[in-house]
Amino acid sequence: MRVARLHGRRDVRIHEEDRPRAAPGEALVRVEAIGLCGSDLHWFEEGGIGTSRITHPVVPGHEMAGRTEDGRLVAIEPAIPCERCALCLEGHPNLCPEIRFSGQGHDDGSMREWMAWPERNLFPLPDGFTPTDGAMLEPLGVAIHTVDLAHVRPGASVGVFGCGPIGLFCLQVAKAAGAARLVARTWRLARSGSRRRGPLARRPLPPRTAARRRPS
């Protein structure tokens, strides 16, 4: 099968590798759709995020959907908590200190044709959903969690600063939660020297270009 491995900063190579074998409790999934997260771009452009660096060739990708060998179209949850620690048992698996994550560490991600992944992390999609819809459920989940943490209530005013995919999802989820006024402000890169200065090279768009949307 074809695999895209990130070997270092701006160094992606296509490899031919054997199809993985599903271990007990896992299923083999043919990847049909993936999304590119901002974190994937950080890994590619900078060779890491913060203090985490690429130490070996890794397959990126954690927004994905695919089809199992028996024909089920599934969304694939990228995080694998241990399910044994106190936080997992208390219902907070996202805070598990032993959590594994698709495309990080020694767990190859979805930029490959096939992946073996725990059955408990595969969620069948209803009729009418496409693989692309399934791949978007991971960033949608981030937005739902964000709006939940913000305690958005009917009639609230909500500001979203940064209109990438997550920001746009946050706007839609906030509207669905009953927000009465939505204000969004996007950012653009100051291209001259942006690679050198990284995130500090971002500057807000002039106020006249900020998007404001009221419910109809």
For residue range 8-22, list pLDDT tens digits in order: 999 999 999 999 999
For residue range 135-190, list pLDDT tens digits in order: 999 999 999 999 999 999 999 999 999 888 899 999 999 999 999 999 998 876 54
pLDDT for residue 51: 86
User: How many Å apart are CA 162 and CA 1, to the nearest integer?
Assistant: 37
Domain contains 105? yes
User: How many Å apart are CA 80 and CA 118, to the nearest integer?
Assistant: 8
Structural domain span for residue 106: 2-129
Mark whether 155 and 82 lie in a shared domain.
Answer: no
pLDDT for residue 189: 52
Mark whether 14 and 62 lie in a shared domain.
Answer: yes
User: How many Å apart are CA 5 and CA 2, to the nearest integer?
Assistant: 10
pLDDT for residue 50: 85
Residue 109's domain is classified under what CATH number? 3.90.180.10
Nearest CA among 186, 194, 193, 190 for reference residue 213 = 186
Mark whether 124 and 146 lie in a shared domain.
Answer: no
Residue 179's domain is classified under what CATH number? 3.40.50.720
pLDDT for residue 188: 64
Instruction: Supply angle C-alpha 141, 79, 39, rounded to 5.
Output: 70
Mark whether 118 and 17 lie in a shared domain.
Answer: yes
Query: HEC states along 75-124?
Result: EECCEECCCCCHHHHCCCHHHCCCCEECCECCECCCCECEEEEEHHHEEE
Query: Structural domain tally of the chain?
Result: 2
Domain contains 145? yes
pLDDT for residue 187: 72
Average pLDDT for 121-130? 96
For residue range 81-112, list pLDDT tens digits in order: 999 999 999 999 999 999 999 999 899 999 99
Amino acid at site 103: G
Pick from 129, 164, 189: which residue ends a domain? 129
Pick from 73, 106, 129: which residue ends a domain? 129
pLDDT for residue 52: 86
